[in-house]
Amino acid sequence: MRLRVVKAYFIKEMIELIRTKMIMMPYLMPLLIVILFGYGIKMQVTGVRTLILDNDNSQISRKLILKFEHSKYFTTEVKNMSEKEALREIKKANIDALVIIPSSFEKNSLKGVKTEMGVFIDASFPSRATTISNYIQGIILDLANDFHMDSSGVININTRNLFNQALRDEEMIVPGLIGMVLLIAPAILTALLIAKEKEMGTIFNFYSSPVSRGEFLVAKLSAIFFLVSISIFIIFLVASYLFDLPFRGSFFLFWFASELYVFVALGFGLLVSILASSQIVAIIVTLMLTILPAFMYSGMIMPISSMSGEAFIVAHIYPVMYYNHIIYDTFLIGQGFSSSTNILYLLLLFGYGVVLFTLGLLLLKKEIK
Amino acid sequence: MKVFIAILLKELLSFVRSFGLVFIVIYFFTAEVFVAATGMEMEAKNVAIGVVDKSAGGISKKILSSLHSPEFQTLKFYTSQKELSDAVYNKEIMVGIIFDEQFEKNYYKKLNPTINILIDSTSASQSLMAIGYIQNILMKFSNLKLPVALKMHKLFNQNSDTTLFMGVSELLSIITLLTTILTAIVFVKEKESGTWDIMLLMPVDPKIVILAKSLSQIIIIMVGTVLSVGLILFHSLNVPINGNLINFFILTFFYVATTAGIGLFIAAISKNVMQISQLSIVIMMPIIFLSGAWTPVYAMHPLLQYLSILSPLRYYIEGSESIFFRGSSFVDLLPYFGGVLILGVFLYWFGFRKIGKLF
């Protein structure tokens, strides 16, 4: 490896990146994704548009309606219309939930007879529907507590929400997003840099010049590595200041794991670019290999521990899970180097990168196919 | 007309001949939809749960025996609270339940026995749902007499099956993504090799060239959509359809044409494939963001609610969900058709003007 050659190649790559405005790629895209998704994904359900049909019009039913109105989870409307019309409103997607208070509600509940209350929820978005139904159950329970009821036999539940006490969406989503963008941005950039040379034919300069494969790769990849490394700090600042995430772990661990992860992402891009013949194929294949897995196997939407079967295996094959474990640890949990799992995952990431690079180096041929 | 058909066929042929691209498009429309639908689970299912039971009694065992699949995995028992919380910290389990020594005694004495629960709330929605399940189970043991029995009807998807929802929404996002990129690339490829200027200088009307080229990509996407709906949604995932399928295809056609318009615009302002990939992300992200795909429009900031009127995807998603799940009739769907159509005409016209200009 001749440092002089690497340096010259590195400078050439940098100039090219700046001139083609591709320098924006490692900065603009990750920021955009983190900011938009960070603000955009709301798992918490608030302001459920609820329509209440009060057929009873009694004290208790009014009390129930008040409970709905005072809850921040519901935006309530009380209307007088037939059940059929109300159901049509759900079909038109104008309301999300419909609560029908039966006419004998007060009479029955004073007598202690059970009343059936009809609740209709639009379950087009299933998890939202489950949450809404839990909320409504909570309100009914609350109402029951207000009235009579001896609550002596009731089992108390003392819940401790670890790591994310306020159940903020940002704390749950943003670390996962970091794992997503630090995979996608370097991978696409790498894949394109080599595929582009292939498509334009400039790859022949490399074939015919005395530059060795190692030098070529080191120069090209270190340019991207350098750019994305700066991006790591920017994203960290956005996460902790814009989204107000707590940072409970060690910053060194965060930085080190991120650099290792970018190294893995470069390996991904390298493999794709060697196999892909054109830029379109390179882009699409990289997106295919990164976006969905980074989303699914990140633990962001679905915890790894509750996966089963193939999903569990695939999640362990992808590097995203290991990095995300560390990222969530540094932001929310804070075990740092004292946890053996973190150290094991760091080693796995390193091993992953080494394997990808060895493969890339073996497959990259200095000849025309 | 002859020219139009010739160009259309040429584009389709060149698509079919590039095996890589054909393979990728087919992959996206089939495997990707399938994987996303079956893999993503937003309900709390199969939750890993751990227990420390110091009460050594029958009641805790009874309670624990009601925590079973599909909601929960087989229970993992720990001997001390320390071990349990370590397991939560290392994300081996998501929920930890602790019964203390007094539990059984208090239960029989009716002294409000207490259960301590530790939750890893890094994935907040699932942990909330898991708590909801546990609460429901405990209610049964609390012999509390509620005056009301709730009759829950989850309309359109009684079992809250995430597969159906994810399958449809993944298909919609793939349509969006592929249409933009494919349309933009068809034009920029010509730009990169310098043939686009020649195209515009030829005696053939450039309008016909542009129309034929973009129509060819629309056709490819439509074929992919039909394939995906038939093979994956209906055949493999058993997605029910409560509305009219024809409505869905018409809506899709309008939407794809709209997105092709965005693709034209991207092609007009980018010089190479690299820029397309950046621009399409920069332009598509806000459109997806404002569409209400993740956060329903009514829960957004008021300013964003107004902006979301401009996102064609909003009408498309709401419309398609209405067709698939809510089974809305054609009249109820008219606002969605209208929204997509108006935006579509505008966007397509805009992109059309931009790309048709020489230099």
- Please report whether residue A152 resides in a domain: no
Q: With a CB-CB cutoff of 8 Å, which residues 42-81 of chain A face chain B?
A: 42-47, 49, 75
Chain B CB within 8 Å of residue A279 CB: yes
B219 and B324 inside one domain? yes
**Residue A206 DSSP code:** H
- Please report whether residue B295 resides in a domain: yes
CA distance B188 to B270: 7
By C-alpha distance, the chain B residue nearest A134 is: B132
B21 and B54 inside one domain? no
Closest to A155 measured CA to CA, from B135, B129, B101: B135
Chain B: give the shortest CA distance to residue A358, in Å: 25
Pair of tokens at residue A128? 């939202």
Chain B: give the shortest CA distance to residue A287, in Å: 10
Structural domain boundaries, residue A231: 3-41+167-363
Domain boundary among B141, B168, B196: B141
B349 and B252 inside one domain? yes
Chain A CB within 8 Å of residue B320 CB: no
- What digits encode the pLDDT tens for the residues B195-241? 888 887 888 888 888 888 889 999 999 999 999 988 888 888 888 88
Q: Any residues with CB less than 8 A from the CB of A111 and at least 6 apart, and which?
A: none
- Please report whether residue B149 resides in a domain: no
b/e per residue A89-101 (b: at least 16 CB within 10 A): bbbbbebbbbbbb
On whether the CB atoms of residues B187 and B213 are closer than 8 A, the answer is yes
Chain B: give the shortest CA distance to residue A37, in Å: 7
A216 and A73 inside one domain? no
Which residues on chain A are in Cβ contact (under 8 Å) with B282?
28-29, 32
- What digits encode the pLDDT tens for the residues A144-166? 777 655 555 666 677 777 777 77
A122:B47 CB<8 A: no
B137 and B172 inside one domain? no
The reported pLDDT for the residue numbered B34 is 85
- Please report whether residue B153 resides in a domain: no
By C-alpha distance, the chain A residue nearest B174 is: A288
Question: Which of B35, B91, B282 minimises the CB distance to A304?
Answer: B91
- Please report whether residue A262 resides in a domain: yes
B121 and B262 inside one domain? no
A8 and A52 inside one domain? no
- Please report whether residue B352 resides in a domain: yes
Chain A CB within 8 Å of residue B238 CB: no
- Please report whether residue A217 resides in a domain: yes
B207 and B98 inside one domain? no
Band (pLDDT 50/70/90 cuts) for residue A266 is very high
A298 and A345 inside one domain? yes
By C-alpha distance, the chain A residue nearest B241 is: A124
- Please report whether residue B6 resides in a domain: yes
Which residues on chain A are in Cβ contact (under 8 Å) with B158?
123
- Please report whether residue A260 resides in a domain: yes
A125 and A52 inside one domain? yes
Interface test with B, best of A125, A300, A314, A345 (most B CBs within 10 A): A125
Average pLDDT, chain A: 83
A213 and A285 inside one domain? yes
Which residues on chain A are in Cβ contact (under 8 Å) with B142?
153-155
Structural domain boundaries, residue B172: 2-40+160-356
- What digits encode the pLDDT tens for the residues B168-190? 888 888 898 889 888 888 888 88
A16 and A52 inside one domain? no
- What digits encode the pLDDT tens for the residues B110-123? 777 788 888 887 77
On whether the CB atoms of residues B117 and A159 are closer than 8 A, the answer is yes
- Please report whether residue B151 resides in a domain: no
B34 and B67 inside one domain? no
The reported pLDDT for the residue numbered B282 is 77
A97 and A195 inside one domain? no
Interface predicted TM-score of the whole assembly (ipTM), two decimals: 0.73
- Please report whether residue A157 resides in a domain: no
The reported pLDDT for the residue numbered A29 is 82
A141 and A172 inside one domain? no
Burial of B38 (C-beta count, 10 Å sphere; 0-12/13-18/19+)? middle
B71 and B33 inside one domain? no
By C-alpha distance, the chain B residue nearest A96 is: B155
The CATH number of whichever domain residue A97 belongs to comes to 3.40.1710.10
B21 and B71 inside one domain? no
Evaluated on CA atoms A114, A120, A125, A131, the torsion sign reads negative
User: Considering its fold, how many domains does chain B have in total?
Assistant: 2
A135 and A15 inside one domain? no
The reported pLDDT for the residue numbered B190 is 84
A35 and A74 inside one domain? no
Region A211-224 average pLDDT: 87
Question: Which of A151, A279, A307 minimises the CB distance to B273?
Answer: A279
Q: Per-residue pLDDT for A296 more than 80?
A: no
Question: Which of A144, A156, A159 minimises the CB distance to B147?
Answer: A144
- Please report whether residue A162 resides in a domain: no
User: Considering its fold, how many domains does chain A have in total?
Assistant: 2
B165 and B304 inside one domain? yes
- Please report whether residue A368 resides in a domain: no
CA distance A84 to B156: 16
- Please report whether residue A154 resides in a domain: no
By C-alpha distance, the chain B residue nearest A160 is: B118
A115 and A215 inside one domain? no
B141:A155 CB<8 A: yes
The CATH number of whichever domain residue B131 belongs to comes to 3.40.1710.10
Question: Which of A36, A130, A155 minimises the CB distance to B286?
Answer: A36
CA distance B45 to B69: 8
B129 and B229 inside one domain? no
A131 and A273 inside one domain? no
- Please report whether residue B147 resides in a domain: no
B6 and B104 inside one domain? no
Query: How many interface pairs between A and B have CB atoms less than 8 angstroms apart?
Result: 319
Interface test with B, best of A306, A308, A312, A318 (most B CBs within 10 A): A306
